[in-house]
Every structure is written in C-alpha cells, then in structure tokens.
Amino acid sequence: MRNRKFILFALLLTIGLVLAACGGGDNNENANNNNNDASGDNGNNEETTDFSAAMVTDIGGVDDKSFNQSAWEGLKAWGEDNGLSQGNGFDYAQSDAPEDYVPNITRLVRDNYDLIFGIGFELKEDIQDAAEKNENTYFGLVDDLVDSPNAVSITFKEHQGSFLVGVAAALKTETNKLGFVGGVDSPLINKFEAGFIAGAKSVNPDITVNVQYAESFGDSSKGKMIAADMYNNDIDVIYHASGGTGNGVFNEARDLKNAEPDRAIWVIGVDRDQHEEGEIGDHNVTLTSMVKRVDVAVQDVTKRAQDGDFPGGEQLEYGLEENGIAVATTNEEAMTDDIISAVEEWKEKILNGDVEVPSTRDELKAFEEAL
C-alpha cells in the first residue's frame, strides 16, 4: 500500500511540474511577443539597437552650457530613443586638456563603439589619425574637415546665424558699441566674428564692434575680464563664441546687472539657447542666442550610421535652410516684435540669395565697402 501511495504521489508531482513548465513557457512567449510589438519596441515604446556611439569633448567639457553640451544632448536623445543608457550603448569621454584627446579616442575604440565623434576642430588631427588606423570604426568630426572613407565632416554655416544676431544687437544697442568675444582666433571662430559684424553694420554702418579673443574655450576668468573691460567702455551688447570662456561673460553681465538693475547690459549666447545663463532675479541679460544645432547633427549622423547609411568621406553642412542654425526668441521682453520681424526679414534675404553673408575677414572687408 505504501508503495502504491508513493507511486501515486510521484506521478502527481511530475504532472504538476510539467504543467508549471508549460505555463512558464506561455508567459515567456507572451513577454517576447509584447517586446516585439511596435517593430521591436520595449515596454517604454523605445526601439533597441546593438549599434553604439560615443563622443570625445574638447576642453570645454560636456557641461560647458554650449557646444559640447549640445552635442551630448543629441547623442543622449539618440540613445534614449533606442532604449539605451549612458555607458550601455552611448557615452562620452571628457577632455580636460589637449593631451587627453588621443587617450580618450583610444579608449572608446578599445571599448568597441561603432561610431566615435570628435567635438571641435581641435580634435582634427587625432580623429584623422584614428580613422586611418581603425578602418572598421566610424568617426565624425564636428567643425572641421577629415579625409577618410570611414569618417564624416560635420560643419555649420555659423556666419548666417551670427549675421542675424548682429541685426538684433544693432537694433538693441543704446550706445552703438558692440563687443565680440571669441575663443581661439581661428577660421572657424572668424566665421562668427565676420557674420556678426556684417549683420550689425547692415542695420547701422556707424556701429563699432570691439573684437577680442581669449585664446581658450575653457577660461571663464579670462572671459569675465574681457567682458568687464568692454562693459566699462560703454559696450552694452556682447556676443560670445567662446564655449566655456563665455560663462565668464555671463558672470560679469549678471554682476553688473545686479549692481545696477536699470542699466542696459546684454549678452548674446552661442550654440545652445543660453537664456538660463542670463537669469538674475527679475531680470535676464541674455538678449538672444545663435543656436547651432550640434545636437541635431549628431543625432542625424548617428541615426544614419545605425541604419547602414553612414555618409563616410562626405562633408555635411547645416545652415538656415537645413534648420541647423536658428536665433532664439526666448527672452520675449528683450526680443521685441520689431526686432524679431527685422531678423526674419534678413533671414529671408539670406535664404533668397539677396545677401551673401561673409565668413572671413577678407570677405567682411569687401562686404563693408559695398554698404
């Protein structure tokens, strides 16, 4: 009798385990079916991918509130759209000095990222070298040209947007004295300088523009010192194209505004909408920003590479027509309707070909002579 009971118990136990296993298989199959809904979206309606991408900052850093930060925001947006997270599908390498560029690029190559961006023209030689040595890795260089079939050059028509914020500055100034603070004196930043001066003088040829370079994209104290000198000499609008150095320009403007709330003190931001950088109590010293959509470009190139359409060996140029350049209108009290209307009118002239915006100092000289 005991043996019969034991055999019966064992038989029931076996049947229970088989049923449980079958039930578990149904649950897993349902889970997989759910994950495969909407073309492979996960529970958050995000696509997943095995493709990976990373970027190397210049010395301005990923939180420079400008150029590098915009690039990082674009890379993050791509990653999050694909269900990835930082360190798991996308990442960045911080450069605190030029000596960090090569080790950072090397580490990302070693970590098998499919696409690696160098953010800024200062990485040109190192990205070029890395592309030649790593033919199975994609590379992207922002703001300069690289020559390799597995690398793409990403550039912008910064002079177009700079022209438009120059128009805004000319209509806002009360002293007819403007300032331009550049990072490193180079062909790239000269595009910002030339466009800005051309836009301002198209509105008022008698306007003067004081141009100074900090020779660094990461020296906030130098930016503050240059801004202090400019504001002390009756300049009331400063346009900076200097990355992290521009943080010092904003610091000085906020300090002066805090001390003299009724004084007209303005900064024009760059790359991102830097409206938040100008906030001080009930005031905001950010007149506008020349928005350079590095985020859009980085996200676009990464998506193309992911889809098997990497534009290797090509130069991509983003301007007004490609929505890669824009003028911020966040500060509604400062950017009045008449200023916005004027900016839009000049934008149409550029798009229609009625105005050819200078991008070099020589072109600027010829442009001024024709005014």
> Do 174 and 129 share a structural domain?
no
**Is 19 among the domain residues?**
no
Amino acid, res. 12:
L
C-alpha–C-alpha distance, residues 253 and 227, integer Å: 8
Residue 80's domain comprises 53-156+297-303
Tally of domains in the chain: 2
Q: Do 103 and 133 reside in the same domain of the chain?
A: yes
Q: Is residue 193 in some structural domain?
A: yes
Residues 141 and 108 in one domain: yes
Is 182 part of a structural domain of the chain? yes
Q: Please answer whether residues 35 and 69 qualify as being in contact, where contact means their C-beta atoms are separated by less than 8 angstroms.
A: no
Q: Cα separation of 106 and 248, whole Å? A: 32
> CB–CB of 126/120 below 8 Å?
no
Query: How much is the pLDDT for 60?
Result: 82
Note whether 121 and 266 are same-domain residues.
Answer: no
Question: 210 with 346, same domain?
Answer: yes
What is the pLDDT, as a whole number, of residue 3? 43
At 48 the pLDDT is: 64
In-domain check, residue 41: no
> What per-residue confidence (pLDDT) applies to 61?
87
Q: Are residues 142 and 165 in the same domain?
A: no
Whether residue 240 sits in one domain with residue 106: no
Whether 220 maps to a domain, the answer reads yes
Q: What is the CATH number of the domain that holds 251?
A: 3.40.50.2300
Residue 135 included in any domain? yes
CB of 206 within 8 A of CB of 178? no
DSSP lists the bridge partners of residue 87 as none
Helix, strand, coil: what percent of the chain each, to 5? 50, 20, 30
CB burial string 292-325: b at 16+ within 10 A, e below = bbbbbbbbbbbbbbbeeebbeeeebebbbeeebb
Tell me the whole-structure pTM to 2 decimals: 0.81
For position 66, what pLDDT does the model report? Answer: 81
CA angle at residue 23 from 17 to 26, to 5 degrees?
145
Contact 326, 156 (CB under 8 A): no
pLDDT for position 8: 42
For residue 29, being part of any structural domain is answered with no
**CA-CA distance, 192 to 195, in Å (whole number)?**
5
Shared domain check, 199 and 348:
yes
Answer yes or no: do 208 and 284 share one domain. Answer: yes
Quick one: CA torsion of 316, 317, 321, 322, rounded to 10 degrees? 40
Decide if 257 is inside a domain: yes
Q: What is the pLDDT along the chain (371 residues), one digit of tens a residue?
A: 444 444 444 444 444 443 444 444 443 333 333 333 333 333 344 456 799 999 999 998 898 888 899 999 999 999 999 999 999 999 999 999 999 999 999 999 999 999 999 999 999 999 999 999 999 999 999 999 999 999 999 999 999 999 999 999 999 999 999 999 999 999 999 999 999 999 999 999 999 999 999 999 989 999 999 999 999 999 999 999 999 999 999 999 999 999 999 999 999 999 999 999 999 999 999 999 999 999 999 999 999 999 999 999 999 999 999 889 999 999 999 999 999 999 999 999 999 999 999 999 999 999 999 99
Is residue 37 within a helix (H) or strand (E), and if so which, with residue range?
A: helix 2-40
